[in-house]
Structure formats: C-alpha cells, structure tokens
C-alpha cells in the first residue's frame, strides 16, 4: 500500500496491478528500424544501421542483429551489403518444414535512383545462437512488406505483390520459388493477411483487398477504396473491417461489401469510420499491453496496438454496439463540461481532414476524453451523471472498465 499524508488529510491506496507498466531501456547505440520476436529460438532479431561521418565522407552501415529475448545480450550479427538496408522482417515457418526462420526483406538504396530497383529476401535459421543464412533471393525492387501466408511467403515488392513457395532440393537445401503475383499498385508499402485474404496499403491508392485462389494459383483484386489516401499503416480488424492510417494523421476504417447486390458495389470498400488522431502511425499490431482475463467482459474485446513516430503507443478497441452507444453519449456530454486547450473545439479537432476533404469524425470514440471523466471533481461528475441520467458510481465503473484495456 501507499500512504500519503497531506495537511489535514491522510490517503491510503494500493497500486492497481493491471496499471503497472515496467519500462526497461536496452541501449543499442545505433538506429533500429525493424524488430521481430521468435519464441522458438528465444531470440529477438532487428534491422539496424550505424551512421558514420569523417572529414571526407558520410556513410551508413546496415546490419541484421540477433539478441537473447531475456538477457538482451547480442548473440550474432549479419552485415548487409553497401547501400542495402532492411525494410521488413518476420518470423515464420513453411509448409512441410517444422523449422522457424527469420525472413528479412531488403532494398538497395542507390543515390542515383528515385526508387530501389533491386532488393533481396534473406531467410535465416538460428543455430546455436547464431544467424545462419539459409536462402537468398534477389528481387526487382524494395521488399517493403513480408507476411507468412498459407505456409508460403508473401512479399510486397515495389508495385507488385509476390507469393513464394518454399522448395526443398534433392540435396536437402532450400529455395524460394515464385508462384504468382498481383500488379496494379503505385507502391505496395503495407500488407496484412487473414486466411486467403490480403489487404494492401498503397503509397497513394488507399486500401485494396486481394484474394488468393488456390485452384488457379492466382491472386486477384476483390475490392478497393477509391479515395486517394497516402497510407502509413494498415491492419485487418476482422474478416470484413480494415483500419488504415494516412499521412495527414487520420485513421479510417473500411468495410467489405460481400453481400452487396451489384458487382460494382462488391468491388468497392465502403468507408465506415473516420477520425483525426493527430499522430503519424507507422505500425498496427493485434494484441494488448495488459493481462486480459478471458472470462471478463473486457477480456472479450479485441484490441489493436499502434505505434507512432512521436513515440506514442495507443490502443484501438472494437467495442460492442451497446457499449459504443453508451460511451458516445458520454463523450457528447463530456464535451460540454471539458474544454480543450485554448477552448479549441473537440469536434473540429477530431474531424477527418486532408488535402482532399474534411468530414466529421464517425464511428470512433476519443478514449482519452472519456477517461478524463475520472479527473473531474465530484460536483462536475454529478452534473455529467445527471445529464446522462445514470448514477455517478455506474459511470465511474464503466469508465474504469474501459481503462483496463490498456
């Protein structure tokens, strides 16, 4: 417990287990770009680079490094070629092979080229705490994204989505063999997969949905969002709803129209949610930062973590409809009692706006605003509760439950 004595007041409290956040800093002494965890080998791998400058010239050296996932001691290093940098990294296994591998996608960033025309896919095994290069595959562009997909490897290489099979030669060595692909993107920067579906975040052409057809061994486009969004990250919340972040610091969600009446409607991803976050998101991941009790109501709510270039970590939770309606009413009520910095309008700040359009925020709630209810003094809380026609205790309980998601 914690006891705090003030003039005329003694407060005794305990620290909520769920809210404890342990932070440990591991100095790398260089810039990390990608990181990946492999439970099977009990290691972390990351792509990093070191910038050096002397009187004559400046240079960058890029590496793949391996460290122990508990002690964080460096175990192994694989230097990349001159001008080569790591763009993507995953841990995965392949069909008919029980081993787990680190797959790294790279690009050769040459000073005279606007866009990389050459890259590599490197497949490493961890043997005795060392990185062993098993397969090297040259590509005609930067490998912006990698995904484990149906026991194969799905890569986004410049304008193309490419699927590779894992083949075992007669001598026992392995190779990546191209199976099929899909053109038609400006730059396919981000990909996420679920079953046979592939969601692509394009440099300029927003989000598109592709499907892999096993019988024909082909990847085809099913639908896309026809808005021009410059994407910075994408994720599939479930089979039908996908979330994207774009470079004007907005979030938006799109929905697959699989039960629409016409082909044209089925080929269009419908924008169902829009929200101005005010942060440049560069990664979404399914998961949670806290222990979730599966039998509790909040334990059933799916969450996606996002990371931004300002070092912000945030949570997007998919709320049941009745929760959403209740909290939306609370948010609308709170705006009347809590004024923004400089009395700026909350509604205006959270509205989706970029070079092409401005529209009111919809189907997103501001968790930080809702949780600020708990910071109000008792009389303000009672005013809010009165406006909501809900007892203060119930309101506090509902908001505290929401806080347990992060």
Question: Does residue 305 lie within any of the structural domains?
Answer: yes
Would residue 4 count as lying in a domain? no
Q: Please tell me whether residues 240 and 283 are part of one structural domain.
A: yes
Cα 121 to Cα 176: distance, rounded to the nearest angstrom:
9
> Are both 299 and 156 inside the same structural domain?
yes
Indicate whether 126 pLDDT > 90. yes
Residue whose token pair is 């089925």: 266
Supply the CATH number for residue 105's domain. Answer: 2.130.10.10
Find the range with the poorest average confidence among 14-28, 35-49, 149-163, 282-296: 14-28
DSSP string, 125-147: EEETTEEEEEEEEEESS-EEEEE
Both 231 and 361 in one domain: the answer is no
Residues sharing a CB contact under 8 Å with residue 107, sequence separation 6 or more, in sequence order: 84, 85, 87, 116, 118, 119, 141, 142, 143, 144
Same domain, 255 and 110: yes
Query: Does residue 81 share a domain with residue 215?
Result: yes
pLDDT band for 16, please (50, 70, 90 cuts). low
Give the residue-averaged pLDDT of 174-186: 94
**% of the chain with per-residue pLDDT over 90:** 73
| Claim to verify: residue 67 and residue 119 sit in the same structural domain | yes
Residue partners of 377: CB distance under 8 A and separation at least 6:
none
- If you write DSSP's letter for every residue of 301-353 in order, what string do you get? S-EEEEEETTS-EEEEE---HHHHHHHHHHHHHHHHHSPPGGG--HHHHTSEE
Token pair of 113, please?
Answer: 């080229």
Q: Do residues 222 and 286 share a domain? A: yes
Tell me how many domains the chain contains.
2
Report the CATH number that the domain containing residue 370 is assigned in CATH.
1.10.150.910
Do residues 355 and 253 share a domain?
A: no
Higher-confidence position of 232 and 171:
232
Quick check: is 376 in a domain? Answer: yes
**Do residues 46 and 65 lie in contact, with contact meaning Cβ atoms separated by under 8 Å?**
yes
Mark whether 302 and 221 lie in a shared domain.
yes
Assess whether 293 and 328 both reside in one domain: no
322 versus 294: which is more confidently predicted?
A: 322
Residue 167: inside a domain: yes
Strand partners, 218: 213
Find the domain containing 233 and state its range: 30-311
310 vs 297, higher pLDDT: 310
Judge whether 316 lies within some domain. Answer: no
Give the end of a domain, one of 253, 286, 311. Answer: 311
Last residue of a domain, one of 311, 345, 368: 311
Tell me the sheet residues that pair with 359.
Answer: 352
Average pLDDT over residues 209-229: 95
10 part of a folded domain? no
Residue 296 has pLDDT above 80, yes or no: no
What are the C-alpha distances in Å from 136 to residues 88, 158, 160? 15, 18, 19
Share of the chain above pLDDT 70, in %: 96
CA distances from 333 to 188, 197, 336, 385 (A): 42, 40, 6, 9
Residues 156 and 182 in one domain: yes
**Is 25 inside any structural domain?**
no
* Average pLDDT, integer, range 42-71: 91
Residue 99 lies in a domain: yes
Residues 213 and 345 in one domain: no
Mean per-residue pLDDT over the chain, rounded: 91
Q: Which of 311, 332, 348 is the last residue of a domain?
A: 311
3-class state of residue 160 by DSSP: strand
């Amino acid at each position: 417990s914690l006891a705090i004595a003030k003039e005329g007041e003694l407060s005794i409290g305990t620290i909520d287990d769920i809210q404890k956040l342990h932070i440990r800093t591991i100095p790398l002494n260089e810039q990390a770009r990608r990181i990946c965890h492999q439970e099977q080998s009990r290691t972390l791998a990351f792509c990093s680079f070191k910038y050096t400058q002397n009187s004559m010239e400046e240079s960058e050296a890029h590496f793949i490094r391996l460290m122990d996932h508990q002690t964080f001691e460096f175990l192994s290093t694989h230097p990349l070629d001159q001008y080569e940098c790591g763009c993507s990294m995953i841990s995965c296994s392949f069909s008919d092979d029980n081993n787990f591998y680190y797959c790294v996608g790279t690009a050769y960033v040459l000073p005279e080229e606007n866009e990389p025309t050459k890259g590599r896919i490197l497949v490493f095994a961890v043997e005795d705490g060392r990185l062993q290069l098993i397969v090297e595959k040259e590509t005609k562009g930067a490998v912006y994204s990698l995904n484990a997909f149906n026991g194969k490897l799905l890569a986004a290489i410049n304008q193309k989505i490419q699927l590779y099979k894992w083949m075992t030669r007669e001598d026992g060595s392995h190779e990546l063999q191209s199976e099929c692909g899909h053109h038609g993107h400006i730059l396919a920067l981000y990909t996420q997969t679920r079953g046979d579906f592939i969601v692509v975040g394009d440099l300029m052409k927003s989000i598109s949905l592709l499907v892999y057809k096993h019988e024909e061994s082909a990847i085809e486009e099913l639908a896309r969002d026809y808005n021009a969004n410059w994407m910075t990250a994408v994720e599939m919340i479930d089979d039908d709803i996908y979330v994207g972040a774009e470079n004007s610091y907005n979030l938006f969600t799109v929905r697959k129209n699989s039960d629409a009446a016409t082909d044209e409607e089925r080929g269009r991803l419908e924008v169902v949610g829009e929200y101005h976050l005010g942060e440049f998101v560069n990664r979404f991941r399914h998961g949670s930062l806290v222990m979730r009790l599966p039998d509790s109501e909040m334990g059933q709510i799916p969450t996606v973590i996002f990371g931004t270039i300002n070092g912000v970590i945030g949570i997007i939770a998919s709320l049941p409809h009745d929760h959403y309606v209740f909290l939306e009413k609370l948010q609308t009520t709170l705006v009347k009692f809590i004024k923004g910095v400089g009395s700026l309008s909350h509604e205006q700040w959270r509205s989706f706006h970029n070079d092409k359009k401005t529209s009111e925020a919809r189907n997103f709630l501001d968790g930080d605003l809702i949780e600020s209810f708990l910071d109000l003094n008792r009389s303000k809380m009672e005013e809010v509760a009165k406006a909501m026609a809900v007892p203060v205790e119930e309101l506090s309980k509902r908001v505290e439950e929401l806080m347990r998601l992060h």
